[in-house]
Amino acid sequence: MRIDIISTVPELLASPLSHSIMQRAQDKGLLSVEVHDLRPYGLGKHNSVDDYQFGGGAGMVMRCEPLAALIDELLAERAYDEIVYLTPDGERYAQRRANRLSLLDNLLFICGHYKGIDERIREEYVTLELSIGDYVLSGGELAAAVIVDSIGRLLPGVIGDETSALTDTFQDDLLAPPVYTRPAEWRGREVPEVLRGGDAGAIERWREAQAEARTATRRPDLLE
């Protein structure tokens, strides 16, 4: 999978995408992420990428021309399955969308800043608008990093244990059951007996029951 990201603060994306599983996905050639700095496409001698909003009001808006120039350059190189704009008024991002995006080949993410991007860029290019939650970030970069991370780990071969991503929280609209490692007893707290026995069927049933109980108490909305 290839992911291009347009940003005015590319530094914000460097660290989250260059460690751990995201780095491994790129080292293995399963994921390629390119961050494109919008600033050189800015207008005038100050490379301006934003301007006052028509109609007045606080906050700047990202201008059409720099974004269009960079997007057109990228589109000349490849077609995108989705051009995604990160915005708090987008579709609420969840595992179902992550699963679907992980099946695609080419994605372009546009990170907004200030009051957002000029509406006409959304109309002209954007095919999908995503929000990572009902709160406002100072830019789309952290949202893009969250989404790229959640997609990248789903790509076949990225996570060592192939079945691991399938047993994650949310994959069956269920929260994951509790997990334990050694020691079997710590500060008087014991790992449940069933997990220490070798009965695979009993372990599976225990995990299912725990997942359902946990979901019912913590996230009943998932069971609806």
Q: Shortest approach of ligand ADE to residue 172 CB, angstroms?
A: 25
Sequence-separated (6 or more) residues with CB below 8 Å from residue 71: 6, 83, 108, 110, 121, 125
Size of the site for ligand ADE (CB under 6 A): 11
- Nearest alpha-carbon partner for 145 in 102, 86, 97: 86
- Nearest alpha-carbon partner for 84 in 148, 135, 10: 148
Residue with tokens 């989404």: 147
Q: Is 61 in the site for ligand ADE (CB under 6 A)?
A: no
Q: Is 143 in the site for ligand ADE (CB under 6 A)?
A: yes
Q: Shortest approach of ligand ADE to residue 99 CB, angstroms?
A: 19
- Beta pairing, strands 189-190 & 185-186: antiparallel
Q: Is 137 in the site for ligand ADE (CB under 6 A)?
A: yes
- Beta pairing, strands 106-111 & 82-92: parallel
Closest CB to ligand ADE among 80 and 109? Answer: 109
C-alpha span between 161 and 196 (Å, rounded): 21
Binding to ligand ADE by CB under 6 A, coded x per residue (else -) over 10-49, reads ----------------------------------------
Closest CB to ligand ADE among 116 and 177? Answer: 116
Copy the structure tokens of residue 101.
């995006």
Q: Shortest approach of ligand ADE to residue 136 CB, angstroms?
A: 5
Closest CB to ligand ADE among 61 and 174? Answer: 61
Exactly one of 7, 8, 131, 150 binds ligand ADE (CB under 6 A); that residue is 131
